[in-house]
Structure 1
């Protein structure tokens, strides 16, 4: 019995020691919080930001996207479980104003490190410019029944229903379709992750620098390959490509507006058809996450082709990351617009 008591006592002491060590190892430190496997837990609001966090964080981060793969991010709704998980995340990367559910959850849970990429993205206000139209202005035009003329290349959509969480946003959120803006966002994310996890700060900053250079080169490639385009206008499923158009000097015409769920009026479709004829457009671009029926019907009526131009709002093919899809976009655009 004495022998058994000593064994019990030894086991109790060992357990107490292990518990104490565990408590010490799991306590927050000035070096930044970490998950059970020692990595920083990062939540990204949608795919392009997930891409940045994964590329910059590397082996030091575990990244989860709040928007599921293959899902449309504009009208994201979060489950109570996901909202609760934000509180324990080491860092959250998001675009303020784009997804109101994410904005509200961050305000409610107050994660330790919140990384808003909008300052680096340099968002453009939606107004009457060709590539960043104002939905209110276009809706007014639909009601007034203005005819289709060349001047209407300055207005990309009209007559839409205004539903979805993001419509309080006065700026075009789709900055990631300009690789140069993505490069700036990469630098910001790298700096913020370095602050959140000082022990690995040098790695984050080095990875961010490398990614910045890669994305900047992709932007240069985009500009170079579209510089000789014979056709200067491209028609898209929704008005997501304003920043890409700005970078290339091309003009985007969207069937739907900034909200991909909005529906074009018959007058708008007639207007797009006339623009396509006037500008010699050869292709109507569709998207994986949007029903192509309207775009296909328009293309059929005009006797032209359809092709995919991916807004990269979600990762629809796990074998292709952001950079790979952007390269596919460049190829699709240069083919459709007869770029020599």
Structure 2
């Protein structure tokens, strides 16, 4: 059988076995490794697989695509749950203690950051350290001097933007870093991780080309969203995102911001207000109704649910591209 080599001892493998001598210890380890029952009731760590905990869906997708058959992945954020609101439970802290690898994005989920920093997990992969993060406000991308109207306080309060996975180029950089971390954590399967990483990066390169080609010639370059999740995407493809709220999806816009967006929509030929699948569409529909605009979904892909316009990251990103092309008037 394939015995997984963990970067640190797995306590559950020997905690129930009386060990007497080197031979007995070897038998106990092999027996526990082949057991189909893990201490947390999950499949992670059994059958010699690397036990990986992901903080939310974009990290889960990377771990599964790169790890393939050699990893068992647990996602701390349930489908349909807003990742920003996650509070790590005692059970999930236990899962972290038993895991071999944690893949997360520092700054997005404070509760996860704290739990991982306090855990004794051997390999901690922070996606934020694998690419460059930027500070974004309510308006991201484009150039202010291209707009012939007064935005007033358009930018809003700036903060470090964690939404790097919505830029295929940055997401590919993160994928490469995750791949290297898995190779180091599980050197027996390094060749497989390297191959899977290259395949995923190739798909993301193809996605980047689709976006670049698909958004090159449009009637408008400005789009409105409920919160500033698409700043990296806007900058990558020469667009401008105007967000009703800032980086916090639950924050309420000021009356001045709403009035400013109404003026901007008319001046820049905006046709659509985009809302998300995991947060309320009330504000988007109110603004659209007041300005005579349409509404549509632009998914930040923080989780996959029955409402998602696709079964995985790539499929939803392609749906987002189609939605942007329609709203911006692709030529």
Q: Deviations over 1:244-303 (max 9, x none)?
A: 001111000001110101011111111111111110100000111111111111111111
State the distance in 2 between where 1:306 and 1:22 align.
62
Q: Distance between the aligned counterparts of 2:25 and 2:139, measured in 1?
A: 63
Q: Is the 1:283–1:299 contact (alpha carbons within 8 Å) kept by the matching residues of 2?
A: yes
Find the partner of 1:320 among 290, 301, 311: 311
Give the structure 1 partner of residue 99 of structure 2: 89
Of 141, 157, 178, 1:189 maps to 178
User: Aligned equivalents of 2:303 and 2:123: distance in 1?
Assistant: 24
User: Greater CA deviation, 107-116 or 46-55?
Assistant: 107-116
Higher helix content, 1 or 2: 1
Other-structure match for 1:256: 245
Per-residue CA distance 1:231-251 (angstroms, 9 max, x = gap): 010000110000000111100
Instruction: Decide which of 49, 61, 75 is 1:65's aligned counterpart.
Output: 75
Aligned partner of residue 125 in structure 1, secondary structure: strand
Question: Quick one: which of 109, 131, 142 aligns to 1:121?
Answer: 131
Contact 2:140 2:234 in 1 (8 A): no
Equivalent residue for 1:44, pick from 54, 57, 64: 54
Does the residue aligned with 1:235 lie in a helix, a strand or coil? strand
User: Conserved in 2, the CA contact under 8 Å of 1:157 and 1:264?
Assistant: no
**Using the alignment, how far apart are the partners of 2:155 and 2:81 within structure 1?**
24
Question: Structure 1 residues 246 and 153, CA, compared in 2 at 3 Å: closer, same or farther?
Answer: farther
Name the CA shift for 1:276/1:206 in 2 (closer, same or farther; >3 Å): same
Higher Cα Rg, which structure: 1
Given candidates 51, 63, 67, the residue that maps to 1:53 is 63
Give, in angstroms, the shift of residue 110 of structure 1. Answer: 2.5
Which residue is 2:30 aligned to?
A: 25
1:74 Cα offset (Å): 1.2
Tell me the equivalent position of 2:39: none
Question: So what's the TM-score if we normalise by structure 1?
Answer: 0.81
**Other structure's SS at 1:240 match:** coil
2:167 aligned to which of 170, 174, 178: 178
Q: How many aligned residue pairs are there? A: 295
Unaligned runs of 5+ in 2: 1-20, 34-43
Tell me: CA distance 1:297–1:126, structure 2 relative to 1, closer, same or farther (3 Å).
closer
Gaps of 5+ in 1: 1-15, 29-33, 133-147, 159-168
Aligned to 1:336: 327
Alpha-carbon distance between aligned partners in 2 of 1:156 and 1:49, rounded to the nearest angstrom = 29
Equivalent residue in structure 2 for 1:112, among 99, 122, 135: 122
SS of 1:207's equivalent in the other structure is helix
3-state DSSP class of the match of 1:189?
helix
Deviation at 1:120, TM superposition (A): 2.3
Q: Per-residue displacement from partner, 1:48-69 (whole Å, max 9, x unpaired)?
A: 0100000000111111111111
Q: Is the Cα contact below 8 Å between 1:131 and 1:154 reproduced in 2?
A: no
Contact 1:74 1:99 in 2 (8 A): yes
